[in-house]
Structure 1
């Protein structure tokens, strides 16, 4: 194996990170199976692109109210224990959806309510999970570990939807929900096997003061502010791609659940390529411009996807969108974490999570409304145009400010 290959996978030499990595790979594959099946179920029950947007909005809206609370909890308590509890409740959520669907008693309001419940879970899970990764490797391997986590996310994004498409066509949506509920056992087992490395922090200030102090820390740096604003705008305009995917697959391409699986997996394939390139990087320097180029490329790829009209063109456009999307969000994550100390990492990761989960519900609702009235291609084209313009403005601004950037924290 070449030195470059070893360097790309170096965080996997750490036992604790290895356990986490493979447990997450199983669990996230199940998660993507459920997300694909859930979108198809809503569209099958209602035929409404607007309700697809409502379902996605319900799953992400709790981060608006609880994201900062989740970040403060991640900085105060044992992150490993937080993750064990969130995975347990996510298992219950998936099993409930599986039972309702298997019995033929599921209605769209059940799906939306359970998506909302999962959103509450994720408001605590995501900041803890993002910060927990950095506890499993030494500081010099943090960027590599974050990029490898992106690889596992996108490996699961490739495998999960493709399997879901096959299973939905043969066995129905409930099979995906059952498999997802079982997949949580893998990540819970891996978390139990990881030796705790960080005790709960001793914090004497009130929760409100703790949150306020974290906000002051995160937003005092102009670079962090700029990155968070870019990610929020990109999520608002670009992430409705996933909410509208069932409507595009069935309403535009007439490709059914298998086509939906292939399109979602294609996004994951492209994102996997970006994650591998990020894993090969030796440090976070230069990522600012890379993130800006990613946002602009995401917008252009969305425009190509929206106007593809047939599967042979939609698949490569989806791959390009996945590559650019992962460059933007994973690159932004690495750069942000390089500018944080561990005491503030949970709250900073809450803001990172909120930068896309807070705006994504509004984007999904707007895209669903536009798709119902003007067509799914139009809705995605508008989002792509906004993404490309936002990335261009970010690039222009940060190219001019290049000499003022602050170097990453090394300790």
Structure 2
């Protein structure tokens, strides 16, 4: 009834031999008997024919590791994948030849030399081993020899092997290709493996190897922002919990529920290492103004449903920094791991490209799989970080000014009326327009010039501030005036926020988009804390008139930065469906799942009572302390949110998200009680900090719950 599969009532999968007894071939010698005994024990079946395929009998990577360990030295996991029957594996083990010790592993069957016309060298995604390309090796025509790269430190059967720097591994791969493979070479890199593919390609062309092309699967260049600060922040990610990464990858289809925890932790450590190495590589590449472009074309392949490859229609052109020719092909209805789930389509794309496009990359003929014609130069989209930082600074300054005025007027209302109800009504009028106008504001941000929308929003907000200031200076300001101006300010903010969000994606080169969003979120949180702290001090020291003047100046700064800047005409996030259709689809999904309905009821009740605490906290403090103390203690709410976010990043949260969500809601209730125990700044400070920290932890748990349980296409609606 809740839309989830009850695993306890599912029948146990029956693996084993599917053929008749006549097809059974018994082991013929001690070596085959030993292997058959090990397989039967690990696969939990009665008998194994020497021609049975290990993976058809229910074998997978973790069971393969157990088999290899029991067989002993002289066999690796890669050997089992290349020789998946007892007959083949036993014959391989008795051969008197040195075992393979390099990084390249041939996964395709040996065929006559004249049949193989191309060698495809594949680099796996972050944390993965070479075996992930086995399905692709089986799907490709016989004319391809597929070699998969076993990156050091990525084989769970050899966990003591250390991880190595990516440039060092790329050099070793290039050396092996030059030494061991003859004929034309094609490279394929999936996800973070694309960075190593680009570096191997550079090394091969420098050695005059016949490199025909590079396929980049589900990936684009991903450097960090330049500077020592961002390098330090990037290094800190290596120490974060792998739990959030695991949840994200599971959402993309990378991990299953039954994944072995030990192997999962091993892969996540490899993934963090790979991601850091590739980020370093791209950052250094973009800093090298003398970098020579590849002669070989780069073909970008993405799944249409892959949220990691967002803005792929534009982002594929970023490969133009690395190659003179780039092209894009999409796989319909595919996600990030089409290497596993749409392997036949991937094999066809590779074959089509190599057969039809290698000699004419810029050809404009319409090809299968939604191919976008290649281009020889990256168009000048005029995005740059200086423009982004200028706009972000203006918006941050304006936001601080707005929060200063909001805080100061809240203090004024309580001081003038002494009524909590009047203060609460100002809050209501400051929030209600945002609820009512949000869908309209989103549509406006989608359809009109976002720079003009932001300027218009700032002008509307400044009109409200000027009106309040004039009323105050003429001793005419009344409480009901603030209801109107609070509503006007809310309307302005409602239209400004989605326009600014869309503008970020236009202003910033897409390769820096994640970093830019993080900067905006962090600066907004820090700005609100600073505004609360300064607001309390300024109200006491310089008065409300000066606060109005500061707010006016910050608005002018924000508007001037927008007036003298033009936004590039690049892709941005658009509302995918009409608002009411989104609501209907999201609600239809929710009501069919009792767990989500229960969550809505739970948070409706929780938010109702927490809102009472939020509204009463300011009058509570002003009843026994000054506005300056109120500003400092209120700022602790933001400090708590930042601390909670950092803790969640390094900890990763509870294993069962629902327990963490409910548990921290309970903790927020406890700190609310502490806040009201007695009129003490210390108690209130503990309460504000605790509410912020628990709020961040609750938010992280329920967001992860939604992200892992609800499909990507419905998460926003739900």
TM range (shorter): 0.5 to 0.7
Cross-structure match for 1:248: 620
Cross-structure match for 2:406: 35
Q: Shift of residue 308 of structure 1?
A: 5.3
1:406 aligns with 2:685: no
Quote the Cα distance in structure 2 between the aligned partners of 1:36 and 1:159.
Answer: 12
Indicate the SS of the match to 1:105.
coil
Indicate the SS of the match to 1:120.
helix
Cross-structure match for 2:426: 55
User: CA separation of 1:403/1:185 partners in 2, compared to 1, >3 Å: closer, same or farther?
Assistant: closer
Choose the corresponding residue for 1:318, options 688, 691, 700.
688
Cross-structure match for 2:567: 195
Cross-structure match for 2:632: 262
Cross-structure match for 2:500: 129
Residues 61-100 of structure 1: pairs in structure 2 closer than 5 A = 61-100=432-471
Q: Shift of residue 120 of structure 1?
A: 2.4
Indicate the SS of the match to 2:679.
coil
Structure 1, 15-24 or 225-234: larger mean CA deviation: 225-234
User: CA separation of 1:402/1:215 partners in 2, compared to 1, >3 Å: closer, same or farther?
Assistant: closer
Indicate the structure with greater helix content.
1
Determine if contact 1:76/1:200 at 8 Å carries over to the other structure. no
Quote the Cα distance in structure 2 between the aligned partners of 1:29 and 1:281.
Answer: 31
| Residues 347-397 of structure 1: CA deviation (Å, up to 9, x unaligned) | xxxxxxxxxxxxxxxxxxxxxxxxxxxxxxxxxxxxxxxxxxxxxxxxxxx
More contact order relative to length (CA 8 Å, sep ≥ 6): 1
Quote the Cα distance in structure 2 between the aligned partners of 1:69 and 1:42.
Answer: 31
Choose the corresponding residue for 1:212, options 576, 580, 588.
580
RMSD of Structure 2 on Structure 1 (CA): 4.2
Q: Shift of residue 47 of structure 1?
A: 0.1
Cross-structure match for 1:365: none
Structure 1, 232-241 or 116-125: larger mean CA deviation: 232-241
Q: Shift of residue 118 of structure 1?
A: 1.6
User: CA separation of 1:402/1:51 partners in 2, compared to 1, >3 Å: closer, same or farther?
Assistant: closer
| Residues 115-148 of structure 1: CA deviation (Å, up to 9, x unaligned) | 1222222332333334444444466765554443
Determine if contact 1:78/1:200 at 8 Å carries over to the other structure. no
Cross-structure match for 1:5: 233
User: CA separation of 1:274/1:46 partners in 2, compared to 1, >3 Å: closer, same or farther?
Assistant: same
Q: Shift of residue 277 of structure 1?
A: 6.3
Quote the Cα distance in structure 1 between the aligned partners of 2:489 and 2:693.
Answer: 27
Aligned length: 334
Residues 225-236 of structure 1: pairs in structure 2 closer than 5 A = 235-236=607-608
Indicate the structure with greater strand content.
2
User: CA separation of 1:294/1:131 partners in 2, compared to 1, >3 Å: closer, same or farther?
Assistant: farther
Gaps spanning 5+ residues in structure 2: where? 1-227, 238-278, 280-383
Determine if contact 2:506/2:567 at 8 Å carries over to the other structure. no
Quote the Cα distance in structure 2 between the aligned partners of 1:202 and 1:272.
Answer: 29
Q: Shift of residue 296 of structure 1?
A: 5.0
Determine if contact 1:52/1:244 at 8 Å carries over to the other structure. no
Quote the Cα distance in structure 2 between the aligned partners of 1:404 and 1:267.
Answer: 30
Q: Shift of residue 58 of structure 1?
A: 0.9
User: CA separation of 1:293/1:217 partners in 2, compared to 1, >3 Å: closer, same or farther?
Assistant: farther
Quote the Cα distance in structure 1 between the aligned partners of 2:589 and 2:501.
Answer: 20
Quote the Cα distance in structure 2 between the aligned partners of 1:217 and 1:136.
Answer: 32
Cross-structure match for 2:77: none
Q: Shift of residue 402 of structure 1?
A: 8.9
> Of the two, which has the highest radius of gyration?
2
Cross-structure match for 2:391: 20
Indicate the SS of the match to 2:578.
helix
Cross-structure match for 1:272: 642
User: CA separation of 1:97/1:75 partners in 2, compared to 1, >3 Å: closer, same or farther?
Assistant: same
Indicate the SS of the match to 1:61.
helix
Cross-structure match for 1:174: 545
Quote the Cα distance in structure 2 between the aligned partners of 1:140 and 1:296.
Answer: 40
